[in-house]
């Protein structure tokens, strides 16, 4: 007799397989950008995935246990379709948590700089986050699902969609500019990771960057990423939440947008 797996479990268990499939496709496909080789990079990426998934598994029930049983809204009647508003609200929350992490040195040190230390923007780097950083984003995701009162299955589907968005924007592949009107492209995310800039393009959905003036949609992004010199290798220091740049290494959003050349002209956001 076949064993039936709950839909939410199916969505959640698909995540590591999707990660490995994307990594394999990236390895055999044509690359979008040229990055330095890093020893055992894919193995490090898989280890980071394990940590990220483990933190998510712990955070979601913990956050739900601290919230009231009744949600402000009840979208359970929408079934899996409730994943759509859940993704929209989640990406709004994560846009602001992400932007705030860049704005304040203390929050930058408290995890997010580790993700920006990566010297490659590719699938292996997609889940390379400090556990505190993962917990912040997982809290935002869980809070969005609770506020809307979606089913467990819809919440899991929203998480799956968010996971795919994260993989896509880190995929080292060339994409067409029009895609950047719908989701964040790898080229746009490379600008976000640009060395000594680390700003703009905070949202998984570009609509939030468009609304709040941080959107840059380049034709291509042949820029160095990560931190200069030895700084990207100071993993232990970053895990302990010390700033390897001693407060430097980032531009304000305004300066980054000027650097992108997107503050004026007929097509703001469209970088040549």
Q: What is the pLDDT of residues 36-86, one digit of tens each?
A: 889 999 999 999 999 999 999 999 999 999 999 999 999 999 999 999 999
pLDDT at 74: 97
The model's confidence at residue 221, banded by pLDDT at 50, 70 and 90, is confident
Structure tokens at 57: 């598994």
Q: What is the pLDDT of residues 161-211, one digit of tens each?
A: 999 999 999 999 999 999 999 999 999 999 999 999 999 999 999 999 999
Quick check: 214 pLDDT over 90?
Answer: yes
Q: What is the mean pLDDT of the chain?
A: 91
Report pTM.
Answer: 0.91
The model's confidence at residue 247, banded by pLDDT at 50, 70 and 90, is low
Quick check: 263 pLDDT over 90?
Answer: no
Structure tokens at 6: 């709950």
| Whole-angstrom distance, CA of residue 66 vs CA of residue 1 | 39
Cβ–Cβ < 8 Å for 262, 269: yes
| Whole-angstrom distance, CA of residue 176 vs CA of residue 218 | 10
Quick check: 266 pLDDT over 50?
Answer: no
**Please, where are the H alpha helices in the chain?**
7-28, 41-66, 83-103, 105-107, 113-116, 131-148, 152-170, 186-192, 206-212, 235-239, 253-260
pLDDT at 256: 87
């Amino acid at each position: 007799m076949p064993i039936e797996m709950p839909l939410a479990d199916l969505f959640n268990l698909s995540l590591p397989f999707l990660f490995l499939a994307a990594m394999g496709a990236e390895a055999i496909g044509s690359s979008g950008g040229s990055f330095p080789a890093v020893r055992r990079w894919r193995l490090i990426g898989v280890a980071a995935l394990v940590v990220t998934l483990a933190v998510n598994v712990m955070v979601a029930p913990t956050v739900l246990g601290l919230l009231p049983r009744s949600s402000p809204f009840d979208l359970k009647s929408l079934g899996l379709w409730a994943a759509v508003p859940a993704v929209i609200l989640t990406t709004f929350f994560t846009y602001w948590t992400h932007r705030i992490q860049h704005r304040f040195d203390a929050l930058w040190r408290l995890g997010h700089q580790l993700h920006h230390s990566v010297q490659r923007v590719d699938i292996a780097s997609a889940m390379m986050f400090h556990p505190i950083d993962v917990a912040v984003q997982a809290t935002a995701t869980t809070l969005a699902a609770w506020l809307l009162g979606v089913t467990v299955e819809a919440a899991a589907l929203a998480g799956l969609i968010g996971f795919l968005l994260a993989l896509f924007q880190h995929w080292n592949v060339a994409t067409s500019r029009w895609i950047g009107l719908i989701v964040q492209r790898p080229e746009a995310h490379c600008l976000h990771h640009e060395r000594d800039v680390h700003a703009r393009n905070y949202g998984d959905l570009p609509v939030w960057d468009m609304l709040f003036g941080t959107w840059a949609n380049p034709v291509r992004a042949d820029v160095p990423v990560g931190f200069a010199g030895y700084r990207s290798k100071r993993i232990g220091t970053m895990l302990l939440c010390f700033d390897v740049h001693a407060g430097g290494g980032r531009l304000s959003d305004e300066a980054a947008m000027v650097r992108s050349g997107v503050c004026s002209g007929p097509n703001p956001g469209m970088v040549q």
